[in-house]
Structure 1
Amino acid sequence: MSETFTSEHNSALITRFYEAFSRLDAEAMAACYSEDVVFSDPVFGELRGRDAGDMWRMLTSRARDFSVVFDQVRADTHTGAAHWVATYLFSQTGRTVVNDIQARFVFRDGKICEHHDHFDLWRWARQALGTRGALLGWAPFVQNAIRAQGQKGLKAFQAAR
């Protein structure tokens, strides 16, 4: 039987997650997730369980010129949301990205069991890829290539661990 946690607990959990992110502490971030967490975003698609934690481990280990700010944290006993902005150097092109993200959460037993990040992939592509992203970042084949590259990078990171 699931225990119901308060909205204050769940708000604090979101805050703890983003404070850990600001310190590039992927282990503390992953500790906020249930073992069977479902994560999704426009770059990585849907990740489940350990893959979600490994994505954060990969991203934090590669972060350059990184900062994150978050606000609008709100939660009730089952769901939550936050707004966050990550600024970082995209390693493949050396370009600075400012990614503005809306996050939605679902909670179970005091942990995050669903985390869905929403952002404009075309806007991200324009910043990360430059002219090529600006001209073609809206196209499904380019967005699918971005997702494939994200998955490939995660698999390579996991294989090297």
Structure 2
Amino acid sequence: MPPNKTTLETFYTAFARLDADTMAACYAPDAVFDDEAFSLRGHEQVTGMWHMLCDATKARGMDAWKLSFDGIESDERTGKAHWQAWYRFSATGRLVHNRIDAQFEFNDQGLIYRHRDRFDFWAWSRQALGLPGLLLGWTPWLRGKVRGQAAANLQKYLAQRRR
């Protein structure tokens, strides 16, 4: 199996087990991550997000947690995957089934340097937020509010981890 494909298999297999330490080992020190909720720079932020999400799921959502992945492809520099997650959104307790397409770039050591996840924000917000997501999930205002809350939650989490 090509090395970068192995990295992605390792990453998603660890994610399915909520093993954030193994996931973190797949990222380069100068990693970049972007999705509908986060825009992160550097290993601490990127891997801190995965630790935060895994910890929250272990604490309050194991009853609903499931992850599947497929469509992993890679070459020497890039990769892609499709993954789905079923989970309980910690802020509302609502059940979510999210479908995500991921794109990756790798450094010379075969570590993830850039990671971009794309998903339908409106579909996610309807599930995660209920009526507000249904009514406002298509608006830049709600997207900005979710991004702001996600950033604040991550900063708080990272500050607690540094203690």
- CA displacement, residues 22-58 of structure 1 (integer Å, 9 cap, x when unaligned): 1100010000000100111111123332100000000
Question: What's 1:148 paired with?
Answer: 148
* CA RMSD across the alignment: 1.0
Q: Specify the SS of the correspondent of 1:74.
A: strand
Q: Specify the SS of the correspondent of 1:113.
A: strand
Residue 36 of structure 1 aligns with an amino acid whose one-letter code is: D
For the residues of structure 2 that align with 1:118 and 1:25, how far apart are their CA atoms?
22
Count matched residues. 155
- For residues 9-158 of structure 1, the aligned pairs below 5 Å read 9-63=3-57, 64=61, 65-108=64-107, 109-158=109-158
Shift of 1:92: 1.3
Q: Specify the SS of the correspondent of 1:34.
A: strand
For the residues of structure 2 that align with 1:47 and 1:85, how far apart are their CA atoms?
24
Q: Could you list the runs of 5+ residues in structure 2 that have no partner in the other structure?
A: none
- CA displacement, residues 55-102 of structure 1 (integer Å, 9 cap, x when unaligned): 000000001121110000000111000000011001111110111000
Question: What's 1:3 paired with?
Answer: none
Q: Specify the SS of the correspondent of 1:24.
A: coil
For the residues of structure 2 that align with 1:46 and 1:104, how far apart are their CA atoms?
15
Shift of 1:160: 1.3
For the residues of structure 1 that align with 2:86 and 2:39, how far apart are their CA atoms?
21
For the residues of structure 2 that align with 1:128 and 1:47, how far apart are their CA atoms?
25
For the residues of structure 2 that align with 1:117 and 1:48, how far apart are their CA atoms?
16
For the residues of structure 1 that align with 2:144 and 2:10, how far apart are their CA atoms?
32
Residue 11 of structure 2 aligns with an amino acid whose one-letter code is: F
TM-score w.r.t. structure 1 length?
A: 0.93
More strand by share: 1
Following TM superposition, where does structure 1 have runs of at least 4 consecutive aligned residues deviating by more than 4 angstroms? Answer: none
Q: Could you list the runs of 5+ residues in structure 1 that have no partner in the other structure?
A: 1-6
Contact residue 30 and residue 41 of structure 2 kept, 8 A:
no
- Between the two proteins, what is the percent identity of the paired residues? 44
Residue 8 of structure 2 aligns with an amino acid whose one-letter code is: I
